[in-house]
Every structure is written in C-alpha cells, then in structure tokens.
Chains A and B, each alone.
Chain A
Amino acid sequence: MKTIKESKFIRVPFIGELFLGGARPILGIVLGLLAGGVLIAISGVNPLTAYWAMMQGAFGNLQSFTNVLVRSSPLLLGGIGVALGIKAGVWNTGVEGYMYLGAIGAAVVGIPALSLPPVVHIILTLIVGMVFGAIWGLIPGYLRAYRGVNEVTATIMLNYVAMYLTNWLVSEPQPLAEFGSFYPMSKLLQESAQLPILMRGTSLHPGAFIGIVICLLFHFVLFYTPFGFRTRMLGANPNAARYSGVNTNKQIVLIMMSGAMLGGLAGAIEVTGLKLRVYMDFVSGVGYESVAVALLAGGNPLGVIAATFFLAFLKVGGTTMSIQTGIGAPMTDVIIALCVLFVIGVGVSERRRLENVHDVDKTETTDASDIKGGEENVV
C-alpha cells in the first residue's frame, strides 16, 4: 500500500503518506464542523459560543476530561472492532449487539458472590464478556462467510435480538433481575467484580487505557503478523487472497469474531466500570458511533485512537453545550454524521489508484487525471 501511494500520488515518502492518511479526514472534519456551525447558527446560537461551550465541557477541567476518557472506552473498542472488519472488507456493524452480550456475560459471573479475589474476579468477568461477544459474532460471521448473507443487515437485526434478550434476562422472574425495580435492570455487580476507580470524585475507570493498549496491540497484529497480512490481503483483493491460499471464509469468520470479542469486552467494561448494572438501553448509539470512528480513522488502529477522542470530545462537550446554549445534545450526532459524510464525499479515493497498480494491463492507459475520483473500496 505504501509504495502505491508514494509512486502514484506524491513522491515525497513521508509527506505523501501523511497527506493521504491525514489530510482527508481532517478536511472532512473541518467541513463537518463548519456545516454543524451553520446548523447551530440556524437554531439561533452563535456557533463560536456553542463550540467554545463544547471545548469547556470536554477540556475545562480535569473532571470533565475524565468524562471524555470514560466516554471513549466503548468507542475505542467498538471502533477497532469495526476497523478490523473494514481492513478485511466486511462491515461489522453489530457493536451494540456484541456489547449487550458482553454485558450479559459480565453479569452472569459478576453478580453471583463467587468469593474470588478482586483481580481474578474482574479478569473473569471481562473474559466471559469477551467470550459471549465472540459467540454472538460467530452467527453473522458464519452467515456472511458460508451463506452469503449481507453482514450489515444480519448484524443490525441481531442487535435488536440481543437487546430484547438482555431485557428478558434482567426482567423480574429471571435470577439476574433486581426485585421490584420500576424499570427492568439486573442486580448490582459484586464489589469484587467492579473495575477500580482511578481518580477520587470521578468515574474514571481503566477502560480507556485498556482500549488504547488494545488499539496498539491490533496495530501490531494488523501490520506485523501473518494473520494481519491475510486480513489486509482479503480486504485489498479477495480473489488474490484466495488464489494465494488464504482460507477467506475462515478469515471472515475470525475477523467478525475478533470484532465481536472486542465489542463484548467493551460491553463488559461499560458494565463493570461505569453502569454496574445491566439494563436494556445502556449502549444506545455506540453502534453507529463506532462505525464513524472506524471510518474517520480510515480503518487504521492508531487512527482509531485519534478519531475516538474527537468523537468523545463531541459527545461530552455536546452535553455541556446543550445545557449552556439550549441546543439539543443530538446535534453532536448530526455533526459526527456530517463529518463522516464529508470525509468520504470529499477528496481523492483509494480504489482507482489501487486498481491502476493491480491491473498491469491498465497501467499503460492511465494518466495523472485518474487519481482523482473513483470508488472507495477501503473507506
């Protein structure tokens, strides 16, 4: 990929890479923020005031910054899950479902008193959450790889199934449910299964740091291991991957399951670190946001970290903005969606450049004008 970009677009190695990798998302984000500003202005508030309130709300003091970190925990894990899929050419849009299953897994081992030492109990809840998520991811993975069912439809349908499953498990007659609660919710998790709070007076749990470590880990996996190479090959050209002996179906299932496992971890962390109970709507919105993160990141694990902090900043700042200026908090969703639409809609694209290099026959006929326009294959 590197050599393609350098030889075809800008010949200066580092700057060309940086330009392609960073400029498009940043340009898109700037345009998205401008468009959001126009909408804010239409609602009768000075956009600068609104964005300043957002900044204050996210970075005003240490406490608000810890909120950004807490909000970024599920986005990091969900985002890297989706990003892995993008690298392999599948759309793993089931993050919400995986989070529900991860939360169920965490509740199953986190609610009974197992009299385990805290460290062991926490690790057990997280692992069970990951396993539950991965098993759930097996369903759309299998359907996609061996049955040819579109994974976007399948995962989104299964999200609803997972949501109602969660609601059933935390409703009254079930052993996990809290007795006599107004809204169906599970019992409180055992003290020993709760993630430690890192800073007194805040809700800062280690989730964001776990997420960053996992992003770094998957950067390594994706670019320096055979598994990662097979994944990227599958995304770049499935036929070539199959021809060179990659079991593409198995690879798709593995990628979907990895993403699901990370989604399960995200759900388990959200429950053990922040919510401490499982209930039906505890992940609302993370699904689409993870897709947005992965897209802004261009499917890149390190980019996921940057994109997550941008989104978490918007979400946390958006709450402050809505209190101070009266613009509803859903405005942040609009801004995020606009940013992504501008990122994908503006600027050069990958497919055509890749195509020109892959098809040796075609390279003869191409010229410089071909680098603009073309389809997005990988983002």
Chain B
Amino acid sequence: MSYDMLISWIQATLRWSAPLILVSIGEVFSERSGIINMGIEGIMLSGALCGIAISFFTGSVLLSVLITMLLGVIMGIIVAFLTVSRRTNQVVTGLMINMLAMGGTNLLFALLSESRHTRVTTMPPLFPESWHGIPLIGPILTQQPVSTWIALILPFLAGIVLYKTNWGLNVRAIGDHPQAAATAGISVIKIKYQTVIISGIFAALGGCVLTLGEVGYFASGGMTAGRGFIVLAAVVVGGWDPVRTALACLVFGAADAAQLRFQAMDSVVPYQFLQMLPYLATVIALTIMVKYSRVPKTWGAAYDQRDI
C-alpha cells in the first residue's frame, strides 16, 4: 500500500465514521437509560432523505440540518411513546420503525425523482481553502467537512455530560436501577423520553451527514445499508461509553473505507468479499468484545412505575 493510499484511507475512515459516531452518541444515552432504540437505522434513513430534500429545495445546509433534527425529535417521540409509555417490545418497535422509514423514504423519493442524480449543496469544509494544501494534515484533517469535526469532538463532550453532570448520573442510575432512581425522586419516564429523543436527533443528524457530508445524493432502497445496526454493535463493543463507542465506530468506518479503497485497487480478492468486510468486522468485534462489556442492568427491559 503506497503512501497516498494510506493517506486517502485515513481520510476516508474519518469521513465514513462521522455519521456512525454521531448516531452512536445518541444511542449510548438511550441505551444507558435502558431503552434500546433499534429504530436508528430507519431514523437515519429518514434523516438522509430529509437532509438531501431540504438542501435540494432551499440550497441551505443549515436549514436542512435544523429540519432534519426536528424530524429526529418527532421520530424519537414516536419511539419513546411506544417503548416508554406503551412499554412495547423495543426490538419490534425498532424494526417496524425501520420498515416504516424504508417504505416512507422510497415513497417520497419517487416523488422527488428530479433530484435523483443532481448533487446538492453539501457540508462545507471547516478550514479555509488555503489550509488544504498542507501535506499530511491537509488531506487528513483540514479538508474534512464540518460534520467530521463535530463527530470527532462530540464524543468527549458526551462523555463529560454522561459522567460529570447531574443529568448524566440520573441517566446511568435509571439504566441500572430505575426503581431506586424513582425512589430518589428522579422522573424516570421523563429522562427516558429525553434520552430516546436525543438518540432520535443524533440518528437523523447522522443520516443527514451521510448524504450531505459524504456522498451528496440519496439512493432508493435503504442506502444506510445496515449502518444503524453497525452502530448498535459499536455501542456494545464500546461498552456503552461515548469515547470507546466512537473508537469502535472508527474501526468499522475504517473497514468501510478500506473496502472502497481495495475495490478501486483491483486486488485478487473479489470485491464482494471486500463489501462484506464492515459487516464481518462488526460480527467478529461483537463476538470478541461482548463479554468485556458491562451491560446497563435494565438494558432492553420495560419500566413500569407500579413495579416496586
């Protein structure tokens, strides 16, 4: 592998990891409070379409990000209402949200078909043009869009929120022992709603970054390609810690970037096996890491206020 290949691989790793990291931050909070939001794949998909559509019609990236976040709030409220208030099974709820999003995006995208192959306004790079020429740092860091920078900084902020603030303590308490938290006067339902809505916002944002930050177009038929589930795996591999989860996302993003690079390299390995790489890496990482992770005690369980 030549030097240029290596540089472009690292650059692509950061770019492809950015949406995964963003989605994972929200998911860490919701899973820490005990709710597995399996609908992130579908919310990502909706966010991806929403971002591209608003950017296509208005030409404003900022507006499309804001509206995508609003969409994330709405979908988060739906998931929260079902899993927290109605105490439905979290797996089923998530899978059906995914199916809903899949059908809905296919339906809407067919209506927007004029934007099918037109590139839209994408996220601008954070640093000015003149910085892009710096060797090594230029391609790896300064050419990256704003979204990558946000994704690189947010996990640390999320870690501070989760471990150093009162609210973060409440979230962790609720995931481990909701009854005790309720006894201590914390509104369990309210905080669960907050975390699930946060996971909705970040999932939608991640989808928006996937289209506006990376590829610049939307493709019908599930373009997130299982990334939501990769994030779910990353959260387990990262042991429900924002920074370690982000690292796991980087690894999966690296696998994704590597398969694209190797495909272009015309290697001996058939390209289909390279395409499998991110998924295989996810399964293998899960298998190896799952026993080292400390699961939030009420992970995936429903909380009923009447239980003592």
Contact = CB atoms under 8 A, between A and B. Distances in A.
Interface in B81-99: 81-82, 86-89, 91-93, 95-99
Nearest to A338: B100
Contacts of A284: 221
B290 A333 contact: no
B276 to A, nearest CB: 5
A33 to B, nearest CB: 15
Contacts of B279: 157-158, 160-161
A333 B275 contact: no
A375 B89 contact: yes
Interface string A38-51: 00000000000000
B229 A337 contact: no
A333 B283 CA distance: 28
Interface string A122-162: 00000000000000000000010001111011101111110
A143 B283 contact: yes
Contact of A331 (B86, B96, B103, B286): B103
A118 to B, nearest CB: 33
B282 A153 contact: yes
Contacts, number: 154
B283 A154 contact: yes
Give the interface SS of chain B, mostly helix, strand, loop or mixed.
Answer: helix
The number of chain A residues touching the other chain, given as a range, is 35 or more
Given A164-B272, A337-B96, A376 B87 contact: yes
A333 B87 contact: no
B150 to A, nearest CB: 26
Given A153-B286, A158-B279, A330 B87 contact: no
Contacts of A331: 103, 107
Interface residues of B, number: 48
Contacts of B221: 284
Contacts of B236: 150, 153
Interface in B102-135: 102-104, 106-107, 110-111
Contact of B95 (A147, A291, A374): A291
Contact of B106 (A143, A333, A340): A333
A288 B95 contact: yes
Given A160-B276, A337-B97, A291 B107 contact: no
A295 B96 CA distance: 10
Contact of A157 (B82, B89, B103, B283): B283
A334 B283 contact: no
B146 interface: no
A157 to B, nearest CB: 4
Contact of B229 (A147, A156, A334, A344): A156
Given A352-B304, A374-B304, A340 B96 contact: yes
Given A150-B236, A344-B88, A375 B302 contact: yes
A345 interface: yes
Interface of A: 91, 93, 143, 147-150, 152-154, 156-161, 164-165, 167-168, 171, 284, 288-289, 291-292, 295, 327-328, 330-334, 336-338, 340-341, 344-345, 349, 351-352, 370, 373-377, 379
